[in-house]
């Protein structure tokens, strides 16, 4: 266990450092390409940091296979949106309150309600489709749902690019790979981005390995590992990125990183599950999906009614997370 603890701590340090590089480079990439907050946060950052948790179910389904591989894969697919809509929301809200208490930012979250509202609306639609597909009687119908989800994600990307305004005038911190350059070359921006992303994926993989080893040493069931522990580990990059952006009062990027990853996870990995597994959901899996929809629906409804977002609404994600853990531990 001491070695496992050291492995976890070391990988967390690596992930945090790599996320700082990633946030810095993805902002510069957005500025150099004339992209807006929605594309930078909801597409570039979201898809990039979603890779670690996307790899896990793909390996379980396509390489491990069988009933056990499918079970772990489906659990990981559903665990990612659940973790983003509960623990990641909670971490972001907590970060806002902490940095506000330290005088580093204002308590009110300066968010673009149009961008975030679009993300959450898309997620609620695609995730409802994903869960409904589990009740279809024929696999051919599930294949149709997979194609529909891929088409919806393509439309989401199109809408995000179409609706965005450029971030070109924003003052950014110097690129780490070119600290003395007021306008770093695009090749250095891309190089820093790719290196940071590779280190994030490696660090997340090591962190997940440590989590799995600790879970096995403590006798944690496979269901809890796939639905709760593994996604909690693999979602670490999104949480860290969001905290870094919250610290700098870039709340649309912070939440767009989460909401964009939710849309991605509700479409692409789910489509893989629909194609390569029976996509039969157990009661705990359905419960995690229901909680993800409820938590996201709460934030979306608040944002739509008030056009502003309080960190206290995000803290409710922590209560949803604890409620699900209680359900899994005591009722299953």
Confidence (pLDDT) at 279:
93
Per DSSP, what are the bridge partners of residue 175?
A: 178
More confident residue, 65 or 290: 290
Token pair, residue 246, equals: 């919250």
Fold entry, domain 2-168+175-331: A middle domain of Talin 1 (1.20.1420)
Radius of gyration, alpha carbons of the chain: 19
Share of the chain above pLDDT 90, in %: 38
Task: For the chain, give every domain's residue range.
Answer: 2-168+175-331
Output the pTM of the full model.
0.83
Confidence (pLDDT) at 97:
94
How does pLDDT run across 82-112, given as a tens digit for each residue?
A: 989 999 999 999 999 999 999 888 888 888 8
Per-residue burial over 137-168, b = 16 or more CB atoms within 10 Å of its CB, e = otherwise: eeeeebeebbebbeebbeebbeebeeebeebe
Interacting residues of 210 by C-beta distance below 8 A, sequence separation 6+: 4, 7, 8, 11
Which has the closest alpha carbon to 72: 201, 131, 217, 64?
64
In 3-state terms, what secondary structure has residue 86?
Answer: helix
In 3-state terms, what secondary structure has residue 230?
Answer: helix
pLDDT band at 170 (very low <50, low <70, confident <90, very high): low
**Alpha-carbon span 23 to 40, nearest angstrom:** 10
Confidence (pLDDT) at 303:
92
**Residue 166 above 60 pLDDT?**
no
**Alpha-carbon span 14 to 240, nearest angstrom:** 11
Confidence (pLDDT) at 130:
95
What average pLDDT does this structure show over 322-330? 85
| Chain length of the chain | 332
The answer to whether 60 and 79 are in contact (CB under 8 A) is no
**Residue 124 above 90 pLDDT?**
yes
**Alpha-carbon span 288 to 327, nearest angstrom:** 10
Lowest mean pLDDT of 20-24, 52-56, 318-322, name the range: 52-56
Please provide the DSSP assignment of 101-165 as one string.
HTTSS-SSB---HHHHHHHHHHHHHHHHHHHHGGG-S-HHHHHHHHHHHHHHHHHHHHHHHHH--
């Amino acid at each position: 266990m001491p070695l496992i603890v050291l492995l976890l701590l070391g990988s967390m340090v690596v992930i945090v450092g790599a996320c700082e590089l990633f946030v810095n480079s993805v902002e510069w990439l957005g500025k150099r390409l004339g992209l807006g907050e929605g594309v930078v946060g909801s597409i570039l950052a979201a898809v990039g940091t979603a890779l670690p948790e996307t790899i896990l179910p793909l390996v379980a389904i396509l390489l491990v296979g069988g009933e056990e591989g499918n079970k772990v894969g489906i659990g990981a697919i559903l665990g990612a949106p659940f973790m983003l809509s509960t623990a990641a929301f909670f971490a972001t809200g907590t970060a806002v309150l902490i940095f506000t208490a330290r005088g580093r930012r204002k308590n009110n979250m300066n968010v673009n309600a149009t961008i975030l509202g679009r993300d959450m609306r898309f997620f609620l639609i695609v995730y409802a489709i994903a869960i409904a597909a589990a009740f279809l009687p024929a696999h051919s119908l599930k294949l149709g749902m997979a194609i529909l989800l891929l088409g919806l994600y393509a439309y989401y990307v199109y809408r995000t690019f179409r609706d965005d305004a450029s971030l070109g005038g924003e003052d950014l911190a110097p690129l780490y790979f070119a600290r003395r350059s007021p306008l770093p070359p695009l090749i250095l921006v891309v190089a820093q981005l790719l290196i940071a992303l590779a280190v994030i994926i490696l660090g997340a993989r090591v962190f997940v390995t440590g989590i799995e080893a600790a879970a096995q040493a403590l006798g944690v069931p496979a269901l809890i590992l796939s639905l709760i522990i593994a996604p909690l580990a693999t979602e670490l990059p999104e949480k860290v990125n969001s905290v870094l952006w919250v610290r700098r009062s870039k709340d649309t990027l912070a939440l767009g990183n989460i909401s964009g990853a939710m849309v991605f996870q509700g479409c692409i990995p789910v489509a893989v599950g629909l194609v390569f597994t029976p996509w039969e959901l157990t009661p705990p899996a359905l419960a995690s999906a229901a909680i993800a929809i409820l938590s996201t629906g709460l934030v979306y409804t608040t944002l739509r009614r008030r056009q502003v977002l309080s960190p206290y609404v995000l803290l409710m994600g922590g209560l949803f997370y604890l409620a699900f853990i209680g359900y899994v531990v005591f009722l299953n």
